[in-house]
Structure 1
Amino acid sequence: MKLGDIALEYGCELRGDPDHAVTRVATLAAAEPDAVAFLANPAYRGQLAATRAGAVILTERDADASPVAALVTANPYLVYARLAARLHPLPAVAPGISPAAVLAADCELPASCAVAAGAVIDSGARLGERVQVGPNACIGRDVRIGDDSRLLAGVCVAAGSRIGARCVLHQGVVIGSDGFGNARTENGEWVKVPQLGAVRIGDDVEIGANTTIDRGAIDDTVIEDGVRLDNQIQVGHNVRIGAHTAIAALTGISGSTTIGRYCMIGGQVGFAGHLEIADHVVISGGTAVTHSIRRPGVYGGPASGPDEVSRWRRNAVRYQQLDDMAKRLRRLEKWAAQAQAGED
């Protein structure tokens, strides 16, 4: 693809030869003249001077330092993502059903679907066009899966779940397992609460490996359009995650919590149940969210609960000063006691 065409298609200012062609993307350090690299993180600015890339996608601030052609844009990472998808497209679906797959007689799937060895598709399941079902994946009774979705090896989608179009479920994802609902008797024994809802996943959702999303207790658990879930996330029953929210690995979301749209949640965040998180909230990694967050903003904090991140950072610095402050306080108390005794 010629640099001039890239600049035109992705709205960049090109500083270099418009006829130079590239075929792939690469890092600044490893790129050759046939590759495009990008610079979005200042930590890698030191690699720019020595790059051999055919072009670098970067901001106006770094453009003059580029020794090769520059594709100047306000958002280099976004342009890189779109160009990488263009230069490295996924293989087209190779339609067909492995003879080692097990399909119920009344499941429905178009001829354009691909079903790998060991996959199981249960009664009443209905797949859209060009759906890919990976090895040993299990599609439960009455499941619906939209066009162009991909379920990789070992994915399990339990009965009644709904998955939209163009979704990606990575290895080991479990959709629609029972939520953790138990009632306790007077004797301290547990009685399982039937989990009667399902899971509804919108379009263009990506779910990382070994993430689990529980079915609702009565109403459904809902993942709206464009959500991004990292690996090993636990989503409890009746949780709702708003459109275009991204959540990093090892986060746990307790039942009936609602997370708004366009949120960004760091890794290892823990949410208590029955909370409401506003749209456009950012939560730092490792935060224990114990109460609802009603206003957009950046929040973070340890097990004491989330706080506005600027105040939390100030308090984190002060924590390191607590011992010195305690000693000064004792000296002041001693001085005050001595002064009081002198007055008496």
Structure 2
Amino acid sequence: MEFTLGQLAALLQGSVEGDETQKVSRLDKIQEGKAGGISFLANEKYEPFIYQTESTAVIVSEGFKPSKPVKTNLIRVKDAYLGFTALLEAYSQFAKASYVGVEEPSFMHESSKMGENGYRGAFSYIGKNCRIGNGVKIHPQAYLGDNVTVGDHTIIHAGVKICSDTKIGNNCEIHEGAVIGSDGFGFAPQPDGSYKAIPQIGNVVIEDFVSIGANTTIDCATMGSTLIKKGAKIDNQVQIAHNVTVGENTVIASQAGISGSTEIGKNCVIAGKAGLVGHIKIADNTTIGANTGISKSIKTPGTTLFGYMGMELKNFLKSYSIFKNLEDLEKRLKELEKKA
């Protein structure tokens, strides 16, 4: 895809400082820019690169004032970072639009239906009684079990496994290798010390505008639904157990684990490797730091927790100022005991 600088400036509601007829077809880092590429400058520590880059154009903020002559063309926008983000979004949409039609071999059961302008990649599989909306992209080797529902303009990347009865909303994106709707971890202890599997007969419901990262697993409910609400963003390699609810616009980072039947509020942030026990509730706007363990419900909205056992942040910082000096305090205590 090739665009003139004038076309891009119009798209970004900016202006060209230079030759607006020149064309670009590639997005480049400013420090690696070559002819035909477009870059951006939003962080002042990268400013030296704008004087040496070979990119055909660089997106800069309106207020940027170069300290010496610039060889490249400039596209001035209100905010360079937001402008380049808008360009990435447009580029991504163009790329996605190129996937249309059916590649062979692929399989869709005769009882299933798919809307217009969709894409089915090679070796994809769609089971019985599935209902798939308009503009849905199902990439190679993706699997959809029976009775799956997928809303309009959702993207299912290569190798995704979506188990039977899962419901997915509009404008979602599920990245490579994710498994949605596999059995929850339910086993009943037996008198002889063994365990018997408890049938997991529920499903997973994913609302609109949800993003799910690569190799993330979301288990089906024992009964009812595991629920991922509108706008939630889930990173790679996250484990969400059966009957969990993740609230609207909540963000969960890589390697976090959410145990069964826990309810997470809206607009929460759960950092990497955080672990939550089951059957608790997390209030809206809660922030849970990396490696933090949460063993009880968080009832106050807006709470920030940090530390292995999830202490309130201010208390953790006060305690940390003490226990980081424990070795020195122990030595001083022993010296005092000798003098006593």
Partner residue of 1:38 out of 41, 49, 62: 41
Deviation larger for 143-152 or 282-291 = 282-291
1:15 offset after TM fit, Å?
A: 9.7
CA contact (8 A) 2:9 2:75 kept: no
The answer to whether residue 141 in structure 2 is matched with residue 133 in structure 1 is: no
In structure 1, runs of 5+ residues without a counterpart are 339-344
CA contact (8 A) 2:59 2:83 kept: no
Partner of residue 184, structure 1: 189
CA contact (8 A) 1:5 1:18 kept: no
- Distance (whole Å) between structure 2 residues aligned to residue 96 and residue 87 of structure 1: 20
The code of the aligned residue for 1:129 comes to N
Partner residue of 1:264 out of 249, 264, 269: 269
CA contact (8 A) 2:59 2:84 kept: no
1:139 offset after TM fit, Å?
A: 0.8
Partner of residue 324, structure 1: 328
In structure 2, runs of 5+ residues without a counterpart are none
Partner of residue 28, structure 2: 26
The code of the aligned residue for 1:31 comes to G
Partner residue of 1:240 out of 241, 245, 255: 245
Deviation larger for 99-108 or 204-213 = 99-108
The answer to whether residue 154 in structure 2 is matched with residue 152 in structure 1 is: no
Partner residue of 2:179 out of 166, 174, 180: 174
Partner residue of 1:279 out of 284, 288, 299: 284
The code of the aligned residue for 2:291 comes to G
Partner residue of 2:58 out of 51, 55, 59: 55
For the structure 1 residues 19 and 70, does the alpha-carbon distance in structure 2 shift closer, same or farther, using more than 3 Å as the test? closer
Partner-residue secondary structure (3-state), 2:88? helix
CA contact (8 A) 1:177 1:214 kept: yes
CA contact (8 A) 1:95 1:114 kept: yes
CA contact (8 A) 1:228 1:244 kept: yes
1:43 offset after TM fit, Å?
A: 6.5
1:122 offset after TM fit, Å?
A: 1.0
For the structure 1 residues 261 and 118, does the alpha-carbon distance in structure 2 shift closer, same or farther, using more than 3 Å as the test? same
For the structure 1 residues 32 and 169, does the alpha-carbon distance in structure 2 shift closer, same or farther, using more than 3 Å as the test? same
User: 1:40-119 maps to which residues of 2 (within 5 A)?
Assistant: 40=43, 44=46, 47=49, 51=53, 54-57=57-60, 63-64=64-65, 69=74, 71=76, 73=78, 76-88=80-92, 89-119=94-124
CA contact (8 A) 1:96 1:111 kept: no
Deviation larger for 269-278 or 26-35 = 26-35
CA-atom RMSD in angstroms: 3.0
- Distance (whole Å) between structure 1 residues aligned to residue 65 and residue 139 of structure 2: 47
- Distance (whole Å) between structure 1 residues aligned to residue 318 and residue 30 of structure 2: 36
User: 1:184-263 maps to which residues of 2 (within 5 A)?
Assistant: 184-263=189-268
Query: Hey, which bits of structure 1, 4+ residues long, moved more than 6 A?
Result: 1-9
1:6 offset after TM fit, Å?
A: 6.5
- Distance (whole Å) between structure 1 residues aligned to residue 42 and residue 21 of structure 2: 20
- Distance (whole Å) between structure 2 residues aligned to residue 306 and residue 15 of structure 1: 52
Partner-residue secondary structure (3-state), 2:111? coil
The code of the aligned residue for 2:222 comes to A
The code of the aligned residue for 1:180 comes to F
- Distance (whole Å) between structure 2 residues aligned to residue 73 and residue 170 of structure 1: 32
The answer to whether residue 296 in structure 2 is matched with residue 296 in structure 1 is: no
For the structure 1 residues 320 and 11, does the alpha-carbon distance in structure 2 shift closer, same or farther, using more than 3 Å as the test? farther
1:305 offset after TM fit, Å?
A: 2.5
The answer to whether residue 167 in structure 2 is matched with residue 162 in structure 1 is: yes
Partner of residue 342, structure 1: none
Partner-residue secondary structure (3-state), 1:29? helix
The code of the aligned residue for 2:304 comes to V
- Percent identity, please: 31
